[in-house]
Each structure stands twice: as structure tokens, then as C-alpha cells.
Amino acid sequence: MIDLFSLALSHGLMLIAAWRLAFRPDVDDDAADPEAAPRDIFGRAPKAEGDSQRA
């Protein structure tokens, strides 16, 4: 039972990683700018210094 769970878990995580990589917009873009703004792990651009929310 544990072997099947570990096998399903590891392959499931690899499937999620492959799914996320396959549907990234910059993967199939030959004209992608390598010096574009860096993105976080969710694909969002970092906030500018003046964009902080204040309480």
C-alpha cells in the first residue's frame, strides 16, 4: 500500500510540474526577451517600490 502511494505521489508531482512548464507563455516564444522583468514562482511581476498597500 505504501509503495503504491509513494509511486502515485511522485508521479503526480512530476505530472503537475510538466503541466505547469508546458503551459508557460514564454516556453514557445522564440522572440522572448531574456532581460525581461523577473517573475516569481506564480508568474507575477514584482511590485514597484511605490505600489505597497498601506493600512
- Alpha-carbon distance of 28 to 22, in angstroms, equals 9
Burial of 7 (0-12, 13-18, 19+ CB in 10 A): exposed
Look at residue 25 and give its three-state secondary structure: coil
Q: Is residue 46 part of a domain?
A: no
Question: In residues, how long is the chain?
Answer: 55
The confidence band for 36, taking pLDDT boundaries of 50, 70 and 90, is low
Contact 38, 46 (CB under 8 A): yes
pTM: 0.48
pLDDT, tens digit, 9 for 90 and up, residues 13-34: 999 999 998 888 777 666 666 5
| Number of compact structural domains in the chain | 1
What range defines the domain where residue 10 resides? 1-25
Contacts of residue 39, defined as CB under 8 A and 6 or more positions apart, other chains included, come to 45, 46
Residue 38 lies in a domain: no
Mean pLDDT of the residues in the chain: 76
